Amino acid sequence: MQCIVNRRAQFSASHRYWLPELSEAENFEKFGAGAKFPGHGHNYVLFISLAGELDEYGMVLNLSDVKQVIRREITSLLDFSYLNDVWAEFQETLPTTENIARVIWRRLAPHLPVVRVQLFEHPELWADYMGNSMEAYLSISTHFSAAHRLAHPDLSLEDNTEIYGKCARPNGHGHNYHLEVTVKGEIDQRTGMIIDLGALHQAIADYVVEPFDHTFLNKDVPYFAGVVPTAENIALYISNLLRSPIQNLGAKLYKVKLIESPNNSCEIYCTDTESNTVSAVDSQPVLVRL
């Protein structure tokens, strides 16, 4: 039986975003504070996913052996290091989160059956790499606070209460929404980036956080005047809002995850082609409610 097991590791390291072929002004324009000398550091958290068949002892791999391989090949070399200098790969392509994940895969693949490397630079920024050449995934998280009422405009209070329960109460209720946005793209051979991170943060702020934060969604966001603002519909609308801005930045929106509460979340996987018209009606994402 095929099974995937995951091993966690961590290391602390510093890095700097700086290309010697660019001037100081050009480096600061491209990388912002990341270009400051001598660099900055992170407590990285690493998850290695490994696939294989269960053996007679009920294991895919001996995790003690896995631990030793990860320590020998990765963490003992990266921990308390300056990443720009530690490996030759980071001389060619800067050690961004997504590129570090890619290089870790390349160094582990000869020793372990790796199917995914996930690297957290901090809890609000992480990358996933699945072994597909220079393609990687970058995720950032943010939040907004908003109120809503779950009630279909064509139904009575009684009918809405039958469908939505307490959520149909006339004065609504609120949530601290947690939003995760994942983009997919090719790692640039020099910058190590799949997207300008600052520009991505700004797009999410401009199109989602600022218009949604501290609002009553049904009344303050015109779209929800006629659409019930369930977590699913909010996530779908966010995916439609972000698709084009992210594409204009050179990447593709892959997933929107909206966490309404610790017990309730949903995910929209943006699987439609570039030629599709993006709207709430004819966009065809895949929704997973968790």
**Overall residue count recorded for the chain in this entry:** 290
Q: Which of 98, 121, 180, 260 is catalytic?
A: 260
Q: Which of 40, 122, 173, 214 is catalytic?
A: 214
First to last CA, the chain: 26
Q: 234 with 267: CB under 8 angstroms?
A: no
Q: What one-letter code names the amino acid at 1?
A: M
Q: Taking Cα atoms as reference points, which of 249, 9, 228, 48 lies closest to residue 140?
A: 249
Q: Which of 89, 135, 143, 167 is catalytic?
A: 167
Q: Is 122 among the residues known to form the active site? A: no
Which run of H or of E encompasses 48? strand 40-53
Q: Is 26 among the residues known to form the active site? A: no
Supply angle C-alpha 206, 211, 247, rounded to 5: 35
What is the 3-class SS of 99-145, one letter each residue?
HHHHHHHHHHCCCCCEEEEEEEEECCEEEEECCCCCEEEEEEEEEEE
Question: What is the distance between the alpha carbons of residues 18 and 83, in angstroms, rounded to a whole number?
Answer: 12
Q: Is 267 among the residues known to form the active site? A: no
Which residues are annotated as catalytic?
167, 214, 260
